[in-house]
Amino acid sequence: MTNKTARSARKAPPPADHNRKRPEAPVAYDPTVEELREFYRQMVLIRRFEEKAGQLYGLGLIGGFCHLYIGQEAVAVGIQSALEPGKDSVITGYRDHGHMLAYGIDPNVIMAELTGREAGISRGKGGSMHMFSVEHKFYGGHGIVGAQVSLGAGLGFAHKYNNDGGVCVAYFGDGAANQGQVYESFNMAELWKLPIIFVIENNQYAMGTSVNRSSAEDQLYRRGESFRIPGIQVNGMDVLAVRGATEEALKWVKAGNGPILLEMKTYRYRGHSMSDPAKYRSREEVQSMRDKSDPIEGVKQYLAQAGVSEDELKKIDQDIRKIVSDAADFAETSPEPELRDLYTDVLVEQY
Ligand SMILES: Cc1ncc(C[n+]2csc(CCOP(=O)(O)OP(=O)(O)O)c2C)c(N)n1
Ligand SMILES: [Mg+2]
């Protein structure tokens, strides 16, 4: 490089980017009392369902892997309460029970899938990590970390191609955020201005590795910047903050601006899966999150401020306990798939 070109290269500043359009800073959602009650109901349903799944696993009624969503309830509920089931699509990883419940899918068929019964949503052959409901546009349930992000970009493409007005929400974890295919998907989604909301559920750990240990850039909402995808960091323990950010994200995507990234700062109370003794963090750390940031306690406070009585909440709790124990009874007593089902839904041809 001659001095002259070096000088001219120095002189040419990078293109100014300050005028680039950005989403508005989100504000906390202002719910009606009825909406607040519904957030509470759904979050308690997820928590009790997951506790029951943990018990059934302990009793040997659930086999294989089982990843619980306890602690993260405000994320799925805050986001999906803003979506239209059957129009907007949702895809996630293996920690998927909460997202299904938040999309109104019957707890009985989810629990029956966990226990491997014919009546399960994948006819008892998918288990905890592989559940789908095309009717609800819920596309799983994926065990390959990060794969749901590329598949989600495909769902976003389908919404655009079919011009159906839908938006895809693709959830993934802080660990998955370090996968290469995530960035290939970001690039294509932005180039094609796909209607997709990428949601990083940053629960601080990928199996036993904390986000600070694994991530050179641990402010994950910035991970889309190289692709011009704007990002928003959100308190994922506060359902109103989550819903508020989702409203902003939907506005952005529906206006044809292309994808947006939401980083939900959240926390999982249980181990990575049922077989994780969680030795990589202290009990005090978990207890402190429970004491200070529990998403359900947060909604309870909002409800109290809105004048909803303790008795009313107790009634909701009782109703939920009944729904969950009925789901467990159903899942324990309904039949297993027939032996011949070993040969169905299996790819046998060459392709
Ligand atoms: C491609 C791939 N690599 C590794 C694994 C093993 N694995 C399963 S879960 C997981 C951690 C993912 O953590 P994160 O994305 O933060 O999600 P979380 O479990 O916290 O919801 C790993 C490494 C896998 N299933 N797929
Ligand atoms: Mg994680």
Summarize pLDDT for 208-253 with one digit per residue, the tens: 999 999 999 999 999 999 999 999 999 999 999 999 999 999 999 9
Say yes or no: CB of residue 143 within 6 Å of ligand 1.
Answer: yes
DSSP state of 174: T
Average pLDDT value for residue range 3-16: 55
CA dist., res. 230 & res. 232, Å (int): 7
Question: Which residues contact residue 79 at a Cβ distance below 8 angstroms, ignoring those fewer than 6 apart?
Answer: 102, 169, 197, 199, 242, 243, 246, 262
- Is residue 10 pLDDT above 70, yes or no? no
- Is residue 290 pLDDT above 80, yes or no? yes
Average pLDDT value for residue range 196-219: 97
Say yes or no: CB of residue 78 within 6 Å of ligand 1.
Answer: no
Nearest ligand to the C-alpha atom of residue 146: 1
- Is residue 345 pLDDT above 50, yes or no? yes
The count of other CB atoms within 10 Å of the CB of residue 320 is 21
Q: Which two tokens stand for residue 332?
A: 């324990």
CA dist., res. 142 & res. 135, Å (int): 18
Residue closest to 331 by CA, chosen among 54, 124, 133, 140: 124
CATH superfamily assigned to domain 35-274+281-335? Thiamin diphosphate (ThDP)-binding fold, Pyr/PP domains (3.40.50.970)
- Is residue 8 pLDDT above 90, yes or no? no
CA dist., res. 334 & res. 301, Å (int): 39
- H/E run at residue 325: helix 310-333
- Is residue 40 pLDDT above 90, yes or no? yes
Tell me the helix, strand and coil percentages in the chain, rounded to 5.
50, 10, 40
Percentage of residues of the chain with pLDDT beyond 70: 94
**From the alpha carbon of 273, which atom of ligand 1 is closest?**
19
Average pLDDT value for residue range 292-296: 98
Tens of pLDDT, residues 113-144: 999 999 999 999 999 999 999 999 999 999 99
Say yes or no: CB of residue 96 within 6 Å of ligand 1.
Answer: no
Calculate how far, in angstroms, residue 179's C-alpha sits from the geometric centre of ligand 2.
13
Q: What DSSP letter does each residue of 208-231 carry, written as one string?
A: TEEHHHH-SS--GGGGGGGGT--E
Question: Which residues contact residue 133 at a Cβ distance below 8 angstroms, ignoring those fewer than 6 apart?
Answer: 100, 103, 105, 121
Looking at residue 14, its pLDDT comes to: 57
- Is residue 1 pLDDT above 60, yes or no? no
Q: pLDDT confidence of 9, banded at 50, 70, 90?
A: low
Query: Which residue is closest in CA terms to ligand 1's atom 19?
Result: 206
Say yes or no: CB of residue 145 within 6 Å of ligand 1.
Answer: yes
Report the DSSP pairing between strands 89-91 and 168-173. parallel
Say yes or no: CB of residue 208 within 6 Å of ligand 1.
Answer: no
Q: At what angle do helices 33-58 and 295-305 cross, to 10 degrees?
A: 150
**From the alpha carbon of 172, which atom of ligand 1 is closest?**
15
Question: Which residues contact residue 197 at a Cβ distance below 8 angstroms, ignoring those fewer than 6 apart?
Answer: 79, 167, 168, 169, 170, 246, 249, 250, 253, 259, 260, 261, 262
Where are the chain's structural domains? 35-274+281-335
CA dist., res. 120 & res. 128, Å (int): 10
Pick the range with the lowest mean pLDDT from 101-105, 141-145, 273-277. Answer: 273-277
Average pLDDT value for residue range 275-286: 94
The amino acid that residue 308 corresponds to is V
